[in-house]
């Protein structure tokens, strides 16, 4: 530098080290600004995704609560139906026993009626013979 200034030039003819770095620094700053904008855009997208995820998670929570409530109601209904079915089964068994007893009684009654018919038949024949 000093040699040039001695040959008729001035120190301002030479670029300073900062001036030489200026294009590189400007490129880096521009790149950083672009990167920051991209990061900002990605954060906005991530926020949207998180909000959507939160809404879906909330909806699933409500759905699970509704399913649990429905399942509880169905369990109560099933327990009531089981109780009714058990009572009906007992009653059916009892009625079956009664029908069995009636069949026996009917069989006995049938035999007695047949005996009465035979006896009446015998009486009618004796009456005809006289």
What is the 3-class SS of the chain, one letter each residue?
A: CHHHHHCCCCHHHCCCHHHHHHHHHHHHHHHHHHHHHHHHHHHHHHHHHHHHHHHHHHHHHHHHHHHHHHHHHHHHHHHHHHHHHHHHHHHHHHHHHHHHHHHHHHHHHHHHHHHHHHHHHHHHHHHHHC
Q: Enter the pTM of the model.
A: 0.48
The pLDDT assigned to 20 comes to: 72
pLDDT digits (tens, 9 = 90+) for 11-57: 566 667 767 777 788 899 999 999 999 999 999 999 999 999 999 99
């Amino acid at each position: 530098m000093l040699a040039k200034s001695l040959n008729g030039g001035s120190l301002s003819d030479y670029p300073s080290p900062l001036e030489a770095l200026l294009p590189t620094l400007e490129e880096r700053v521009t790149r950083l600004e672009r990167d920051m904008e991209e990061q900002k855009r990605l954060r906005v997208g991530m926020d949207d995704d998180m909000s959507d995820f939160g809404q879906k998670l909330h909806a699933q929570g409500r759905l699970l609560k509704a399913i649990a409530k429905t399942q509880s109601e169905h369990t109560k209904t099933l327990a009531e139906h089981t109780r009714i079915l058990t009572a009906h089964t007992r009653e059916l068994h009892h009625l079956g026993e009664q029908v069995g007893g009636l069949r026996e009684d009917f069989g006995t009654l049938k035999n007695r009626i047949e005996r009465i018919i035979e006896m009446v038949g015998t009486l009618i024949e004796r009456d005809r013979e006289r």
